[in-house]
Amino acid sequence: MSHLSNPLATPSQLFKVSSSNALPIELQDSIRFYTARLIQAAGILLRLPQDITAQANVLLFRYWLVDDLMAHEFSDVSAAIVYLTAKISASPRSLRSITNVYAYLLSPSSYLSNQTLDASPDPESYYLSEAAYILYRNRLLHIEGQVLNALGFNTHVALPHPLAITYLQALDIFSPAYNSKNKNTGKEVGRRAIEYLNTALLSPQMLYLTHQPCALATAAVYLAARDSGVKLPESQWWEVFDCEREELGFLVVGMGSLEGVVRREVGRWSGKGMLLTENVRKELVNMGRVMGNGNRGAEGEMDEMAEMERMLDAKVGED
């Protein structure tokens, strides 16, 4: 059964992340939300199957249990993990494709930014020169190695999506009895369950690190059936799927509150497409908090990379 379960975060790991990190909890939540959303957007543009994108999100949160949130630029960690997850799957993507997609998503022309929805995209804003690509590629390969080391090379991720459909079949949701009035009731419940599971990937509560796939699938089935007006058995059916009542209640509240989380984060950062370490540092200054020199790695690394890029571009121009 190991292929159906995941290694979960321990209470000591969660406590260490929340207490020893120099960032306030609200900033940690923002970083996780925006970076997970960036992975979802990159997966769409790279035409990756959703299961690969979902695995990348889970690996991202696992990595941040071990390494400092500010150790690297958030988007760089995101791109490196997408590359790693796709590489070990049946749908690998080249580093060139990934860097091009991220250059676009991080540009002012990106559809992630509410400010540019009605504007024509500017190709120059996301053009990646050869020198910039080489530096970007090397940076991602370096981070990929650090991610693998932090994870102990354990990249196994069991997803709850297939279980949710199996549970719906076991509950006979797709039978004619449920679909007599509306032919698409069963499909609607299944679609809603998958939507809840995909949305839960963005949760700052790290639901995929604290609960097994069977519990996540059970909660998604419960919420989807409730939304669609489908009556589930009156008995404690969730226990058949190895989910306790208290755990189910917690996950139902957690998954159901994500709409409010999205509105809060978008409102907090004025619809920003993606957070950068620079944005977080400025917010810390506004909050009257200053991080120590030990946490300036991402900013210093980006300055160094920018200088190297300028030197490489100059060299290419001379040749």
Domain 22-157+271-319 matching CATH 1.10.472.10: the answer reads: yes
Contact 177, 185 (CB under 8 A): no
Ramachandran quadrant class, 161 (left: phi over 0; alpha: psi -120 to 50; beta: rest): alpha
What is the distance between the alpha carbons of residues 157 and 54, in angstroms, rounded to a whole number?
Answer: 9
CA-based diameter of the chain, in Å?
A: 76
Query: Under DSSP, is residue 289 helix (H, G, I), strand (E, B) or coil?
Result: coil
Contact 202, 262 (CB under 8 A): yes
Which residue do the tokens 């979902």 mark? 54
Q: What's the fold here for domain 161-256?
A: Cyclin A; domain 1 (1.10.472)
Q: How far is CA 77 from CA 16, 33, 97, 126, 262, in A?
A: 20, 14, 16, 19, 21
pLDDT per residue as tens digits for the range 202-227: 998 899 999 999 999 999 999 999 99
What is the distance between the alpha carbons of residues 43 and 125, in angstroms, rounded to a whole number?
Answer: 21
Q: What is the pLDDT of residue 287?
A: 83
pLDDT per residue as tens digits for the range 99-148: 999 999 998 888 887 554 556 778 888 899 999 999 999 999 999 999 99
| 82's tokens | 């997408």
Q: What is the pLDDT of residue 293?
A: 43
**pLDDT beneath 70, residues of the chain:** 1-2, 19-21, 114-119, 177-184, 271, 289-319
Q: What is the chain's length?
A: 319
Q: What is the pLDDT of residue 121?
A: 75
Provide the residue type at 133 as one letter.
Y
Q: What is the pLDDT of residue 90?
A: 95
Contact 305, 134 (CB under 8 A): no
What is the distance between the alpha carbons of residues 130 and 6, in angstroms, rounded to a whole number?
Answer: 40
Domain extents for the chain? Answer: 22-157+271-319, 161-256
Contact 169, 193 (CB under 8 A): no
Which residue do the tokens 């390969």 mark? 141
Which residue do the tokens 């969660």 mark? 14
Equal CATH topology for 22-157+271-319 and 161-256? yes
Q: Collect all residues with Cβ–Cβ distance below 8 Å to 101 and sequence separation of at least 6.
A: 42, 45, 46
Q: What is the pLDDT of residue 294?
A: 42
Q: Collect all residues with Cβ–Cβ distance below 8 Å to 33 and sequence separation of at least 6.
A: 202, 203, 204, 261, 262, 265
Contact 193, 220 (CB under 8 A): yes
What is the distance between the alpha carbons of residues 39 and 78, in angstroms, rounded to a whole number?
Answer: 6
Q: What is the pLDDT of residue 151?
A: 95
Contact 130, 316 (CB under 8 A): yes
| 215's tokens | 């519990």
Which residue do the tokens 């200054």 mark? 285
Q: Collect all residues with Cβ–Cβ distance below 8 Å to 176 and sequence separation of at least 6.
A: none
Q: Any idea what DSSP says for residue 303? A: H
